[in-house]
Amino acid sequence: MLLHVPDVLTKAQLADLRRLIDTAPWSDGNATSGHQSALAKKNLQIPEADPIGQAASRIIAEAVARNPLFISAALPHTVFPPLFSRYVGGEAFAMHVDNGVRQSGDGRVRIRTDLSATLFLAEPEEYEGGELVVEDTYGAHEVKLPAGDLILYPSSSLHEVRPVTEGRREVSFFWIQSLVREDARRALLFDMDLAIQRLAQSVGQGDAGIVALTGGYHNLLRMWAEL
């Protein structure tokens, strides 16, 4: 499932965050790469242990934790602390698959990467190129979202960042271990949740049908969740 989550950050939050990360040190992005990714990746990142980067990371972690669409789709068990990347002057990240397991540099967080997320921090008109391309069974999808919006997709997907030929592309990226490992099951639960919410708006939360559907949702979640 490929999902666009709009307005994760407000314009005010976004402006504050960009001012903050502008004061951070940026270094070779391959510091967080696996062997395969290191061959494909050319960009800059804020070092994981940098205090400014960690402060910015907390802002994003708190924002996604408050976003109901993100929570419904991802069903997060653990969210890896968000990281930051910058692409300029032809930098790109060729086609790759994210590592199946990620561990933070301090060893405190170790997750199975079920989902990958990219939160765009620069407006599309600020740079040329830099599209995130995600491949699934329906083909290749180009993604270049407004600043403050997020794209969520299975970490098992082949994906790339096309070369940035002009301007500066800045994003935050992170991974999620979901309560529900399988993408198809997460997609079913997400569709059920949205349908229940839409029905509740028209017939009321206390309707017997809504109560039964909500029970079915939670029984499936109970069946599939891994804690």
Tell me the pLDDT of the chain (227 aa) as tens digits. Answer: 999 999 999 999 999 999 999 999 999 987 665 556 566 889 999 999 999 999 999 999 999 999 999 999 999 999 999 999 999 999 999 999 999 999 999 999 999 999 999 999 999 999 999 999 999 988 999 999 999 999 999 999 999 999 999 999 999 999 999 999 999 999 999 999 999 999 999 988 888 999 999 999 999 999 999 99
Triad 7, 28, 9: Cα angle to 5°: 10
Map residue 95 onto helix, strand or coil: strand
Exposure b/e, 135-168, CB count within 10 A at least 16 = b:
ebeeeebebbbebbbbbbbbbebebbbbbbeebb
- Tokens describing residue 169: 């592309």
Say if CB 92 and CB 163 are below 8 A apart.
Answer: yes
Say if CB 88 and CB 171 are below 8 A apart.
Answer: no
Say if CB 94 and CB 34 are below 8 A apart.
Answer: no
User: In terms of DSSP bridges, do strands 150-154 and 110-112 run parallel, antiparallel, or are they unpaired?
Assistant: unpaired
Q: Name the pTM for this structure.
A: 0.93
Nearest to 132 by CA among 162, 157, 103: 162
Residue 59 exposure: Cα atoms within 13 Å on the Cβ side = 25
Nearest to 6 by CA among 153, 147, 108, 217: 147
> What was the pLDDT predicted at 206?
83
Which helix or strand (DSSP H or E) is residue 31 part of?
none
Using CA atoms, how far apart are residues 78 and 57, in angstroms rounded to an integer? Answer: 14
